[in-house]
Structure formats: structure tokens, C-alpha cells
Structure 1
Amino acid sequence: MSASLTHPARRQLTMLNPLGLYDPSANGYSHVALVAPGASLICVAGQGGERADGSLPDSFEAQVRQALDNLRVALAAAGSHLHQVARLTVLVVDHDEARLRVLAEVLARAWGDAPKPACTLIPVPRLALDG
């Protein structure tokens, strides 16, 4: 998962789900993230499901949870947190509806009642690491 976000000191982020578009909340994202002019931007490299020792959890859900934990660590290093993420790009190997449900549930738990970031899910044949 990679993320773009506004810096906490200048947080100016608005999530929108305009009328005329379907409600994406069941899939864990918003259609539009509006970052105000002048807001600081932090760019985080893609975070996978690997633990600090490089090992991967066995299940897809555990890997998604670990990727979010890794994202939290990266954001904290920059003085930020998940609720300031404007946009996610999610790459999924062997994507299907079941994995979409898992991803949506994990994102819903992570963001709670707060607006979810704009998100693009891209099915891919593999990622950087095996597994």
C-alpha cells in the first residue's frame, strides 16, 4: 500500500462522495480526496505485508493488517497517522471479490467512522517479494 497525505501541522483534507456516484463506503474508500492548496504532502513508499524481520504472514487478511501496521509506522516517522491519508493505491495478487471484502473490512476497522481515503485497487500478477 502506498499513501499520499497532508502533514498534520497543516491538515487540510476533505473527503467527498458526490451525488451521482455510487456509495463506495462498503468497499472502504471515498471517491474524492481534496487537499487544500499550501498543505504539506508526505509520500510513503508501498508498504507490503512483511514483518520487520522480512517474513510474511500466511493469510491474505494478516498480510493486509500487517501492511496497514507498516503504513502506520511510516506515517508516525513523519509525524502523521492514518486519518490524514488522502489517497491509497492497493496492489493485490490473485484479486477476487473475497479479497475485496477482506480489504474493505480491514480498512473499515482501521479508519472506523472517519471518512476513508480515496483508493485505487489494482490487480497484479505478483509483487516485489514472493508470497
Structure 2
Amino acid sequence: MTQRDVVFPPGRQALYERNRYSPAIKSNGFLFVSGQVGSKEDGSPEPDLEDQVRTAFNNLNAILNEAGCTFDDVIDVTVFIVNPEERFEKIWKVVPEFWGNAPHPTVTAVGVTWLYGFQFEIKVIAKLPEATAN
């Protein structure tokens, strides 16, 4: 079995161990980040949708930073939205606070019916900085 090079953000390792998954894995010059939701440190959701999106991005940024990346290193994004017809505009109003300048990463948006009590989730693939010369 291949050894996984796992990245844990500060203060959240217990949450990932309890739920039995890795927050991110480094592999072949890339960082594969598990879906991040707007959870507080105890795992509970932020009640306000915009705060939930901001917290999801902050949780994502903590993982990126721990791996030596920023959102500028992100090349592919997948977002999951519960009831996107109702929530997309409110969510996408928050995104520019974190997204950065063009060129933007690729994006796939998926409407879902359930996200474990959350309304928004974001997962990304980033190019690790030491691998950008490849």
C-alpha cells in the first residue's frame, strides 16, 4: 500500500479522526483536499448560510496553508449545494472574498439533497508549490 502524506490543519485532527477520513493528501505534486463545510471546531454547522460559506473557505484555507499553498494554487474546485436554485446567488456573493483574481480555477457545481446538516461544501485539487516547476 502506498503511504499517504496526510495534511492536518491545526486544531481539527480529532474531528477528522472521529469521522475517519483525511482532510488532505499530497500525491505526485498535487494536494487533494476533502470536502470542507462550514463547521465550527466541534463539527457543528454555522447556522447562517453566508457565515457557513465563509467558514468552509476558512477551513479550506487552513488546510491549504498547512500544505504550503494558497487558493491561488487551486486548479480544480467542486462545490456541493443543497437546494442550489434557492441558495446559489447568496453563496456566490461570498465566493469573491476568497476566490482571488483571474484566471480562476475550473469549477463543477453539484446540487444535492443532503450534506450532513450543511448547505455548502467545497473540495479542491491544488498544485503544490514545490511542484509548479514541473
Once residues 52 and 104 of structure 2 are traced to their aligned partners in structure 1, the CA distance between those partners, rounded to angstroms, is 20
Find out whether 1:70 has 2:59 as its counterpart: yes
Quote how far apart the aligned CAs of 1:130 are. Answer: 2.4
Contact 2:45 / 2:117 at 8 angstroms: preserved in 1? Answer: no
Distance 1:41 1:112, change over 3 A: closer
Q: Which runs of 5+ in 1 are unaligned?
A: 1-38
Q: Which residue of 2 aligns with 1:107?
A: 95
Q: CA deviation at 1:59?
A: 1.6
Equivalent residues in 2 for 1:81-100, closer than 5 Å: 81-96=70-85, 98-100=86-88
Kept in 1: contact 2:79–2:109 (CA 8 A): yes
Q: TM-score, normalised by structure 1?
A: 0.63
Aligned-residue offset at 1:99:
2.0
Identify unmatched segments of 5+ residues in structure 2.
1-27, 119-134
- For residue 117 of structure 1, report the CA deviation from its aligned partner: 1.4
Which residue of the partner structure matches residue 108 of structure 2? Answer: 120
Cα offset, 1:53, TM superposition? 1.6
Looking at structure 2, the residues matched to 119 and 73 of structure 1 have their Cα atoms a distance apart, in angstroms, of 20
CA shift, 1:116, in A, is 2.2
Supply the distance in 1 between the matched residues of 2:99 and 2:55 (Cα, whole angstroms): 15
Q: Which residue of 1 aligns with 2:24?
A: none
TM-score calculated relative to the size of structure 2? 0.61
Find the aligned partners of 2:103 and 2:97 in 1 and give their Cα distance. 12
Q: Does the CA-based 8 Å contact 1:83-1:114 persist in structure 2?
A: no
Q: Does 1:130 align with 2:117?
A: yes
Do the aligned residues in 2 keep the contact of 1:49 with 1:66 (CA within 8 Å)? yes
Q: How many residues align?
A: 91
Cα displacement string for residues 71-121 of structure 1 (whole angstroms, at most 9, x for unaligned residues): 00111111111111111100111211x522222222212124343211111
Cα deviation 1:13-70 (Å, max 9, x = unaligned): xxxxxxxxxxxxxxxxxxxxxxxxxx82110111011111212111211111111001
Which one of the candidate residues 31, 35, 55 is aligned to 1:42? 31
| Identity fraction in percent | 34
**Are positions 1:54 and 2:43 aligned together?**
yes
Distance 1:40 1:59 in 2: 36
